[in-house]
Amino acid sequence: MIDNKYKGLILITPAKNEEKNIELVIKSILNQSLKPNIWVIADDGSEDNTPNIIKKYSNTYEWIHLIKLNNSQKKRDHIFHVSEVYNKAAEYAINLSNELSIDYEYIGILDADIILEKDYFKKITYEFEKNQRLGIASGVIYNYYNKAKERSFFPRGGNRVIRKKCFFDIGGIRLGYSPDAVATALAIVRGWEVKVFEHIVSYTIRPTSSAEGLWRGYYLRGISRYHLGYSLLGFTLSSFRLLFSRRAYLLIPYFAGYLSCCFKKEKRSSPPEVIDFYRNSIKRWLKGFN
């Protein structure tokens, strides 16, 4: 049975002004058939009741830990600052597991607006045990309200699980733009497999990139694509799905973000191997790479 092989999981979650969502997320973890050994929720300077809600549960469950980060920024920064929050939460969780002599094989990353099905961790760790080369994986994400599926070729950033060996092989959570996309590229380049499993389900309580409004979210996404190394052709092709959706108007901020970096001739901040990976993504796409 998978439970006999399971070596433990530590989970990290960044949270900022999530009082409407965080309790639903916490309850979905409490309901897991396979629970984390440690769950670190990093409150990033919330101005609402978020930390009090988390504290209520951390006082009850000793494996839930609240850490408060000092953040003077009023708005969310989904570009660079978010990587710092992930990094600090992961560092705290890893150090804590070492101090408490808690063994673990997997590191999970869960956003504060995503609800997991009851057997999420049980199913996904089973897939890891079946394939020792699997480095990063996630389930699919559906919209909580209309059940629409959010498609992605690569594991999503907000519901992913990373094998411990892969995590340290790729240098943990890198500071910079789109840390999830950087991690995926580094894992593939270094010989790990990454997968999205259709039979493992989670739900987002709000649309992707909408925490500060979809317009700003897609502007920041365009900037991130630039720094990942997307060529203009690759970036344009990546926008086709949006072009034929009901939100085609979001192409305006999406391209504005990318082109603003082009006009400034900004130096791309991702590691060279990541830039090469995404710059050549169009070639792999044409060959049926997924």
Q: What mean pLDDT do residues 266-281 have? A: 88
CATH, residue 81: 3.90.550.10
Percent over 90 (pLDDT), the chain: 66
**Least confident stretch, 22-26, 147-151, 155-159, 230-234:** 147-151
Q: Is the pLDDT of residue 107 over 80?
A: yes
Sequence-ordered alpha helix ranges (H) in 151-248: 164-169, 179-189, 214-228, 232-238, 240-243
Exposure string for 50-66, b = 16+ CB within 10 A, e = fewer: bbebbeebbeeeebbbb
Q: What mean pLDDT do residues 64-72 have? A: 85
Domain housing 255: 214-286
Instruction: Decide which of 176, 204, 232 is a domain's last residue.
Output: 204
Question: Could you tell me if 177 and 76 lie in one domain?
Answer: yes
Residue 209 resides in a domain: no
Which residue, among 226, 290, 230, has the nearest Cα to 258 in the 3D structure? 226
Q: Is the pLDDT of residue 276 over 60?
A: yes
Provide the pLDDT for residue 259: 94
pLDDT: is 21 or 82 the higher one?
21
With residue 47 as reference, give the H or E element that holds it.
none
Residue 73 resides in a domain: yes
Instruction: Find how far residue 166's CA is from the centre of its chain.
Output: 15
Question: Could you tell me if 77 and 107 lie in one domain?
Answer: yes
Provide the pLDDT for residue 289: 43
Question: Could you tell me if 138 and 191 lie in one domain?
Answer: yes
Q: For residue range 203-214, what is the model confidence (pLDDT) as tens digits?
A: 999 755 444 578
Rg (Cα) of the chain, in Å, rounded?
A: 18
**Please, which residues bridge with residue 109 across strands?**
12, 160
**Least confident stretch, 63-72, 101-110, 188-197:** 63-72
With residue 13 as reference, give the H or E element that holds it.
strand 9-15
What is the average pLDDT score of the chain?
A: 88
Q: How many domains does the chain have?
A: 2
Provide the pLDDT for residue 290: 40
**How many other C-beta atoms lie within 10 A of the C-beta of residue 215?**
16
Question: Could you tell me if 218 and 196 lie in one domain?
Answer: no
Q: For residue range 239-273, what is the model confidence (pLDDT) as tens digits?
A: 887 877 778 889 999 999 999 999 998 989 889 99
- At residue 82 the predicted structure's pLDDT band, cuts being 50, 70 and 90, is confident
Structure tokens at 250: 């979001």
Question: Could you tell me if 67 and 177 lie in one domain?
Answer: yes
**Least confident stretch, 3-7, 58-62, 154-158, 277-281:** 3-7
Provide the pLDDT for residue 1: 35
CB 257 within 8 Å of CB 222: yes
pLDDT: is 146 or 103 the higher one?
103
0.75 surpassed by pTM: yes
Residue 14 resides in a domain: yes
